[in-house]
Amino acid sequence: MSKTAAIIGGGVIGGGWAARFLLNGWNVSVYDPDPQAQRKIAEVLSNARRSLPGLTDVALPLEGTLTFCDTIAQAVAGAVWIQESVPERLDIKHATLAQIQAACDADAFIGSSTSGFKPTELQRGALRPEQIMVAHPFNPVYLLPLVEVVATNMVIDRVASAKAILSSLGMYPLHLKKEIDAHVADRLLEAVWREALWLVKDGIATTEEIDDAIRYGFGIRWAQMGLFETYRVAGGEAGMKHFMAQFGPALKWPWTKLMDVPDFNDALVDLIAGQSDAQSGMHAIRDLERIRDNNLVSMLRALKAQDWGAGALINAQEAAMRAGTVHGAVAADLDPAQLVETAHRTVPLDWTDYNGHMTESRYLQAFADATDRFMTIIGCDAAYIKTGGSYFTAETHIRHIDEVHAGALITIRTRVVLGEGKKMHLFHEMHEGDRLLATGEHFLLHVSLETRKPTAPVPQIEAALMRIAAGHAQLPLPAGIGRAIGAPR
């Protein structure tokens, strides 16, 4: 399948879609009549390039090609996926979708980023109604995984194929079986928004105090467990029934305004805008976007470490990418005359320190991950470790040769200096392109996890290790092997 996507409308959402596809290896064609579209998308891409690749611990595919087109017909020609992200007016969307269908392939997927319209409304008068669906994302599209899929009139096999494409981009397609105005997530957000407007209007809380209530409290819980699971936990050992019995009566109390909306007049707009300016007006919009992205990457990577929620999605995407690379190799696949590539990844945002480059502990983590990968290659994988054997690191020496910054695409190649019996001596070299960044020298001993004492590995692991060591012994030694701290280079 040709990986070509067309983005019609290059605003905040369209630019985010372009980044999500492009950085996952798709070629992207964009149509937007705005003369500032190229600049705006370039700025969104700049933020995406510094944040999205750092979510995974293997490198994303090679970035696709971005093309700006003069017409919708040019943009959609040959596209597998077409994402409409024009303004939220039904007449504009109908006109745009008509132009798309007049020129696109009949089997292309057409997704609309609409936050409110139902598929049947979008499909009204369409050439092929069954081709059009709602694919509603959340900003920033290149980081947040949720996309609401509403595909009225589309056959189930086509829906499954559409969801598979979105999943391959690291997204979570939430398939809604019935259409409704504003879908699901925005309806929930709208309820919170309505109540927040009243709280500001009535002088109960400022915009900043409402944001603090969310980000310091339930927002963190919602980020990893949602609403119902959070309340189930709140019910204690008795679970959800106890929670509902305890707090159900509160639903009859006048706690919220719900559909009673304050007049959206100039006074209310000025009040909220003024408080918002006082809250965050000291930051330019691009600075706020980068602050947001830094926080999201850190939270998503924390969830990734727990293999939970949105983090589990990243792990699944990473496993699929790893399976298609040299990182899926085993010892028998390797040329023993070549160094072993044990890492190929992007440095994430949360790996940098106050000096603006990779912090010391992350060099050790990168090399430790490379060691773990090499152990897997020779057969010392999770299954083997469960049988009671593993390697423990006895000594480490890291040389910091050049700076490494967030967003750098680093590759680690590993040399076996010694591999026999219970001993394994590795020398890692970290590069960005041709530039040597650091080396890590590690001496490990195979141990019994039962006795915690050194012992020989099983014959298959020792044979794999010795085969690679013999091949690497024929290679010239690089500078730095065996070097003590402070010794001349």
Residue ranges for the known binding site are 9-14
Give dist(CA 307, CA 440) in Å, integer. Answer: 28
Residue 295 near residue 303 (C-beta atoms within 8 A): no
Which DSSP string corresponds to 308-354? -THHHHHHHHHHHHHHTSGGG--GGGS-TTS-EEEEEEEPPGGGB-T
Residue 329 near residue 465 (C-beta atoms within 8 A): no
Q: Which two tokens stand for residue 139?
A: 């900003």
Q: Which two tokens stand for residue 247?
A: 């707090």
Give dist(CA 430, CA 415) in Å, integer. Answer: 12
Under DSSP, is residue 31 helix (H, G, I), strand (E, B) or coil? strand
All residues at 6 or more sequence positions from 198 whose CB lies less than 8 Å from its CB, including other chains:
204, 257, 260, 262
93, 98, 275, 304 from 299: Cα distances, Å? 35, 41, 27, 9
SS (H, E, C) 39-83: HHHHHHHHHHHHHHHHHCCCCCCCCCCEEECCCHHHHHCCCCEEE
Under DSSP, is residue 204 helix (H, G, I), strand (E, B) or coil? coil
Residue 422 near residue 416 (C-beta atoms within 8 A): no
15, 254, 265, 274 from 203: Cα distances, Å? 37, 18, 16, 14
All residues at 6 or more sequence positions from 62 whose CB lies less than 8 Å from its CB, including other chains:
25
All residues at 6 or more sequence positions from 312 whose CB lies less than 8 Å from its CB, including other chains:
303, 304
Binding residue numbers for NAD(+): 9-14
Q: Which two tokens stand for residue 323?
A: 């399976």
Pick the closest to residue 447 from 486, 393, 391, 380 (CA basis). Answer: 391
CB atoms within 10 A of CB 270: 10
Helices (H), 133-218: 156-168, 185-201, 207-213
Q: Which two tokens stand for residue 487?
A: 């010794």
Backbone angles phi, psi at 77, to 5 degrees: -60, 120
Give dist(CA 137, CA 6) in Å, integer. Answer: 16
Residue 217 near residue 210 (C-beta atoms within 8 A): no
With tokens 């750092």, the residue in question is 54
